Amino acid sequence: MAIAIVCDSTADLPREIIKKYGIHVVPLKVHFGEEEYRDGVDISPQEFYKKMQASGILPTTSQPSPGEFAESYHSILKEGKNTIISIHISAHLSGTHRSAIVAKSMLPKADIEIVDSKQASTVLGLIVLEAARAAKSGKTKGEVLSLVNEMVEKIRVFFMVDSLKYLEKGGRIGKAQAVLGSMLNIKPILTLEEGIIVPAAKTRGRAKGIEQLLTRMQTNIGTGEQSLMGIMHAVEYDGMENLKNKVKDKWQPQELIVSDIGPVIGTHVGPGTLALIGLKP
């Protein structure tokens, strides 16, 4: 009995990991006016941010259709897998989860579990990664699902955006929150709680923002050594390097996944975003 792990492209996992663990990724789409690109397939993060800045058009995004999910599930089952665990971006942030549920109902006989990760981007990615490892090592469906649920409970993310305007334009955060700090070049620190983006702190300047990411994370996960942590960024290489060194000093994680924030998530948080992921012990 083989288990397949499916996720959507907002998991923002590095390609080598996707390949290594045979994770099936269903892409969302990003649109520049009339042009449509499949997230991570037709356009790389680097190309995307370049285009975003050059075109001056604010891209929009769309979820995979139920048909696309059904097609993907169908082909996985044809390959001989009999169980699918499909883990997705927070249902509060995207309709992707709903599309997956509809797809499942289109395949009534198949053994498909749809999970709302209540997370997004590499935070979702780390949950998917752990699920894929468990599946690969021969764990049962029940074991993989309980591991996934545990991860959903324990995982924490804090992220700094360069400006709240992308979150506001995409409707992912209230207008009142976006107005806050718009005058003083404030760097907001946000987190995800129960699948919703909520403000955690406000700072001025990136260096202070990075300090905030570290202290907020420490308050949540403590100072003990960590097995798995993650950093994601949207073309914010300096900040990423800086944060990486500090995270290594502070927690000595056995594994530190660094990834690019992909086009779909990038559309909503904007370039310059930097995030830190950790697990509560």
Partner 1 sequence: MQLEILKGVHLRQMLLASAALLQENKQELNSLNVFPVPDGDTGTNMSLTISAAVTEVEGTNDDLCNVVDALANGSLMGARGNSGVILSQLFRGFASSLEGKLSVQPLEFARALQEGVKTAYLGVMKPVEGTILTVAKEGAKAAMKAARRGEDIIGLLKIAIREAEETLARTPEMLPVLKEAGVVDAGGKGLLYILQGALEGLSPDKLIYPPAYVSPEIEGAEIKTALDKSPVLEYQYCTEFIIKGEDLNVDKMREQLSTMGDSIMAVGTTKVVKVHIHTNHPGQVLELGLRQGTLHDLKIDNMAEQHREILDMSAQNNLSSTPKTRADSAGKEEEEGLGVIAVALGEGMGNILRSLGVERVVSGGQTMNPSTEDLLYNIENSRYSSIILLPNNKNVILAAQQARKLSNKHVYVVPTTTIPQGIAALLAFNPDASLEANGEDMSAVIGEIKTGEVTYAVRDSRFNGEEIKKGDIIGLAQGDIVAIGREPTEVVMGLMEHLVEETSEIVTIYYGEGATSTATEKLAVKIQNAYPHCDVEAYNGGQPLYYYILSVE
User: Phi and psi dihedrals of 107, rounded to 5?
Assistant: -120, 70
Closer CB to partner 1, 60 or 220, in the complex: 220
By CB under 8 A, which span of 106-114, 184-192, 241-249, 254-262 interacts with partner 1? Answer: 184-192
Q: Applying CB under 8 A, which of residues 205, 215, 248, 254 lies at the interface with partner 1?
A: 205
Residue 41 as a binder of partner 1 (CB under 8 A): the answer is: no
Does residue 252 touch partner 1 according to CB under 8 A?
no
The one-letter amino acid code at 241 reads: E
- 183 makes contact with partner 1 (CB under 8 A): yes
- Which of 98, 133, 136, 208 is in the footprint of partner 1 by CB under 8 A? 208
Among 186, 228, 256, 258, binds partner 1 (CB under 8 A): 186
Q: Which of 121, 136, 151 is nearest to 268 (CA)?
A: 121
Rounded to a whole number of angstroms, the minimum distance from the CB of residue 51 to partner 1 is 27
- Which residues, numbered 163-182, are part of the site for partner 1 (CB under 8 A)? 179-182
- Closer by beta carbon to partner 1, 135 or else 214: 214
Secondary element (H or E) of residue 239: helix 237-251
Q: Give the span between the Cα atoms of 118 and 107, in whole angstroms.
A: 24
User: Under the criterion CB under 8 A, does residue 185 sit at the interface with partner 1?
Assistant: yes
Query: Which of the stretches 113-121, 158-166, 203-211, 250-258 binds partner 1 when contact is defined by CB under 8 A?
Result: 203-211
Say how many Å lie between the first and final Cα of the chain, rounded. Answer: 31
- Candidates 1, 108, 137, 184; binder of partner 1 (CB under 8 A) is 184
- For residue 214, which of 158, 171, 176, 266 has the smallest C-alpha distance? 158
Q: Among all chains, which residue has been given the structure tokens 């990991």?
A: 17
Helix 96-106 vs helix 66-78: angle between axes, to the nearest 10 degrees? 50
d(CA 21, CA 41): 18
DSSP for 96-149, please give it.
HHHHHHHHHHHSTTSEEEEEE-S--HHHHHHHHHHHHHHHHTT--HHHHHHHHH
| Binding of residue 194 to partner 1 (CB under 8 A) | no
DSSP state, residue 219: H
Q: Which is nearer to partner 1, 147 or 180 (CB)?
A: 180
Residue number, 140 or 185, with CB nearest to partner 1: 185
Question: Which residues of this protein are in contact with partner 1, per CB under 8 A?
Answer: 179-186, 201-205, 207-208
